[in-house]
Amino acid sequence: MPSTDPRFPNVSIYDHPLIQHKLSIMRDRRTEHEQFRQLLNQITGLMAYDVCRNLPVRALEVETPITRMTGAQLAAPTTIVPILRAGLAMMDGLLALFPEAHVGHVGIYRDEATAQPVTYYAKFPPGVADGPVILVDPMLATGGSAAHAVSLLKEKGCRDIRLVCLVAAPEGIAALHAAHPDLPIHVAAVDERLNERFYIVPGLGDAGDRIFGTQ
């Protein structure tokens, strides 16, 4: 079960020893992009189990080899929405559990001068508002990109939105909570702060560069 921080009642922190072990390897500057990417998907998969704990279900009649019974199935389609580009690297960990999930995409980059989000792409499957949406991005820094993505989803009528990140800064959590106080946030760690360049400290560095080997 994730833990909580009294400063952030809407945040679930996944401090499981296995997750923290893998996260520490990811933080190491010597970790190459292939291993970084593998660990990111492994952690995402480990977190997904509890992120989806309260997904709505409905009754399903099943014929077992012995008898009929009433089982359960997910009541609505789940949509996974990565924030490009780094969020793409979390997809395998989620799709391994939800191969039937729909997938949307949001392309947002941060203006380095203003730290404000700029949207360059947004496409969602039909009926995205019919079920839960899992929004994914490895880093929650200023919170601007995530808040903007949530706003886009709410404009589409989505009401069950869950954000999954690896590492978050307190400033980003506060900004996101101010914009969307109803949003549950799932993270592997809440780090110390943002630096003057809006990077998380101690953080992971630039997650996109480290995932794709472009640094």
Place of tokens 């977190």: 47
30 is catalytic: no
Which member of 15, 92, 110, 130 is catalytic? 110
Which member of 114, 159, 193, 214 is catalytic? 114
Amino acid in position 44: T
209 is catalytic: yes
Show the beta-strand stretches assigned E in 89-195: 102-103, 105-110, 117-123, 133-136, 139-140, 161-164, 167-168, 185-187, 189-190, 193-194
**65 token code pair:** 């080899």
The helix (H) or strand (E) run that includes residue 25 is helix 17-27
Contact call for residues 135 and 162 (beta carbons, < 8 A): yes
* Residues annotated as part of the active site: 110, 114, 206, 209
